């Protein structure tokens, strides 16, 4: 069995940085808090939990002087003020590319645009982006929703950092017809773009594609969507236990891609599993 690992699979720069900050903080602190899970991978989060990293969802769970790490997705603008008021110490692991998206939203809004955000309405990053808009906005996730928009004078268009650039560009064309003045700020991060491009390339070459990552990870879900459109036998797996239900009979070429919050050791476990399947199969 040939195994093709997509280039740029697994941890991205922003996630790597956030995890390093947690590790560094744990050296001198026994108890550390993160606002929401530090990354969208339940396995990594539960490992960190056992080392003293507690996930909170409400600032009321904290006391003055506690240490809070802001995850790579960032937080809403108002929360920074609340944190300061409560005298909570912070380490800000917000990814610089996410900050760029926040700044883009603020800029477009300040320029008087009706802000159109391509993203998942409930994703923390999108909630953060919205918090920087001081005026009218809408969050959309498909071309159809863009088609349904009413005409506006001035539209400012941006995206959650992990969106599909192909979709971003096709919606841009629709928005051109929806206003007299369209301002576009492409806030999709390059790591996302490359990860999606490489996953596409891999899916085109194999008979079966495995996408490794947390089911709660938006960017991993998008990789799965992209691969499923190209390779019918695409599977979303969180751990190697999920591989037991997949039939590898007659499959000679398997591709692997992984979301930005998937650690390398999980990808390696999948590779080991496939090597074993291949070894046993060839032996028989
Ligand atoms: Fe940052 Fe892009 Fe990763 S926005 S957190 S480098 S997917």
What integer pLDDT is reported at residue 282 of this predicted model? 66
Q: Of all protein residues, whose CA lies closest to atom 4 belonging to ligand 1? A: 97
Closest CA to 71 of 115, 128, 121: 128
What integer pLDDT is reported at residue 39 of this predicted model? 87
| Confidence (pTM) | 0.86
268 Cα–ligand 1 center, Å: 22
What integer pLDDT is reported at residue 116 of this predicted model? 98
What integer pLDDT is reported at residue 40 of this predicted model? 85
The DSSP H or E segment spanning 93 is none
Q: State the catalytic residue, choosing from 23, 125, 204, 276.
A: 125
190 Cα–ligand 1 center, Å: 8
84 is catalytic: no
Residue 15 contacts residue 261 (beta carbons within 8 Å): yes
Closest CA to 218 of 128, 155, 126, 282: 126
- Ligand 1 atom index nearest CA of 98: 4
Q: Which positions of the chain have pLDDT values less than 70?
A: 281-284
Q: Is residue 162 in contact with ligand 1, taking CB distance under 6 Å?
A: yes
Q: Of all protein residues, whose CA lies closest to atom 6 belonging to ligand 1? A: 14
What integer pLDDT is reported at residue 194 of this predicted model? 94
What integer pLDDT is reported at residue 284 of this predicted model? 56
Q: Of all protein residues, whose CA lies closest to atom 7 belonging to ligand 1? A: 192
CA angle 270, 229, 145 (to 5 degrees): 120
188 Cα–ligand 1 center, Å: 9
What integer pLDDT is reported at residue 278 of this predicted model? 79
What integer pLDDT is reported at residue 283 of this predicted model? 63
């Amino acid at each position: 069995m040939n195994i093709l690992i997509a280039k740029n699979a697994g941890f991205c720069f922003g996630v790597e940085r956030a995890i390093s900050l947690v590790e560094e903080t744990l050296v001198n602190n026994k108890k550390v808090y993160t606002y929401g899970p530090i990354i969208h991978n339940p396995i990594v989060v539960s490992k960190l939990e056992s080392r003293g990293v507690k996930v909170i969802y409400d600032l009321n769970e904290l006391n003055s002087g506690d240490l809070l790490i802001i995850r790579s997705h960032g937080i809403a603008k108002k929360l920074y003020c609340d944190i300061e008021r409560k005298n909570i110490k912070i380490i800000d692991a917000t990814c610089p590319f996410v900050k760029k998206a926040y700044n883009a939203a603020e800029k477009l809004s300040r320029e008087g645009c009706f802000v159109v955000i391509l993203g998942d309405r409930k994703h923390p990053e999108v909630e953060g982006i919205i918090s920087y808009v001081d005026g009218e906005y809408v969050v959309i996730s498909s071309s159809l929703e863009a088609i349904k928009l009413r005409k506006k004078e001035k539209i400012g268009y941006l995206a959650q950092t992990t969106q599909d650039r192909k979709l971003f560009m096709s919606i841009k064309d629709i928005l051109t017809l929806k206003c007299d003045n369209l301002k576009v700020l492409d806030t999709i991060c390059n790591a996302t773009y490359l990860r999606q491009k490489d996953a596409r390339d891999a899916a085109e070459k194999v008979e079966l594609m495995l996408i490794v990552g947390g089911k709660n990870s938006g960017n991993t879900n998008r990789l799965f969507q992209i691969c499923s459109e190209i390779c019918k036998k695409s599977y979303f797996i969180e751990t190697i236990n999920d591989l037991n239900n997949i039939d590898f009979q007659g499959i000679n070429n398997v591709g692997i891609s992984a979301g930005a919050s998937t650690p390398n050791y999980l990808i390696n476990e999948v590779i080991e599993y496939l090597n074993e399947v291949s070894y046993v199969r060839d032996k028989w």
